[in-house]
Chains A and B, each alone.
Chain A
């Protein structure tokens, strides 16, 4: 099973709202990722969790706050977003660690619209 699930599939929020995106995998992977993808562009890496610890933060604004409650779950908390944050948010996972092939498995994404 190479499935990564994401909820919700679509989200519309105002600039003053607080919402969360959720991601789950049951492949025993130890690395999880958040990406942002704008139309007709490749995914842009936002955060990497390795063994449940934040290992990479690609200078993402503080209005995005990641959380990894356990090795299977990854959340992205959203607060005071701007219209330019509207995008497809993708979660991915990989085995993680030295010696493992680094291919990542992606979820279907959450289409976020900020009004």
Chain B
């Protein structure tokens, strides 16, 4: 069975500070991992994905995530937070060839001016 745990339902950072959103997964097979962002009253936008290969993945808007198999983690980072980063962030996991995404419960990021 696959699942995702996002530690911290709400994270606050100051503008310009490091953003770190945590995601741990459980999967019986090598997973595909994703981060999505959702702004208020909008759909989900794909930030980045890990499939195979390089474990450090770069995404849009300056975000990146590192796949660590030994820690079963896929944490999302951004060196310097911007006000426009305030949103809900979802981590998700899937299997190769599967049509399902398993979402974490989400982390709301607040950026303090």
Question: In the complex, how many angstroms separate the beta carbon of A8 from the nearest chain B beta carbon?
Answer: 14
Question: In the complex, how many angstroms separate the beta carbon of B102 from the nearest chain A beta carbon?
Answer: 9
Instruction: Give the dominant DSSP class at B's interface.
Output: loop
B95-113 to A contact mask, C-beta < 8 Å, 1/0: 1111111011110100000
Tell me which residues across on chain B come within 8 A of A45, comparing CB atoms.
100-101
Q: Which of A60-68, A71-79, A96-104 contacts B (4 or more CB under 8 A)?
A: A96-104
Flag whether A28 is at the interface (Cβ < 8 A).
Answer: no
Question: In the complex, which of the residues B90, B101, B103 contacts A102, with contact meaning CB atoms closer than 8 Å?
Answer: B101
Contact B100–A97 (Cβ < 8 Å):
no
Known A-B contacts A55-B99, A108-B42, A108-B43; the reply to A102 vs B104 at CB < 8 A is no
Tell me which residues across on chain A come within 8 A of B96, comparing CB atoms.
98-99, 102
Q: Interface residue count for B (Cβ, 8 Å)?
A: 25
Tell me which residues across on chain A come within 8 A of B49, comparing CB atoms.
101, 103
Tell me which residues across on chain B come within 8 A of A88, comparing CB atoms.
41
Contact A106–B32 (Cβ < 8 Å):
no
Sample of 26 A–B contacts (CB below 8 Å): A2-B46, A6-B43, A33-B99, A40-B108, A42-B104, A43-B103, A45-B100, A45-B101, A48-B100, A55-B99, A56-B99, A88-B41, A90-B44, A98-B97, A101-B32, A101-B49, A101-B51, A102-B94, A102-B95, A102-B96, A102-B101, A103-B34, A105-B46, A108-B43, A109-B41, A109-B42
Give B residues with C-beta under 8 Å from A.
Answer: 32, 34, 36, 41-46, 49, 51, 90, 94-101, 103-106, 108
Give A residues with C-beta under 8 Å from B.
Answer: 2, 4, 6, 31, 33, 40-43, 45, 48, 50, 55-56, 88, 90, 92, 94, 96-109, 111
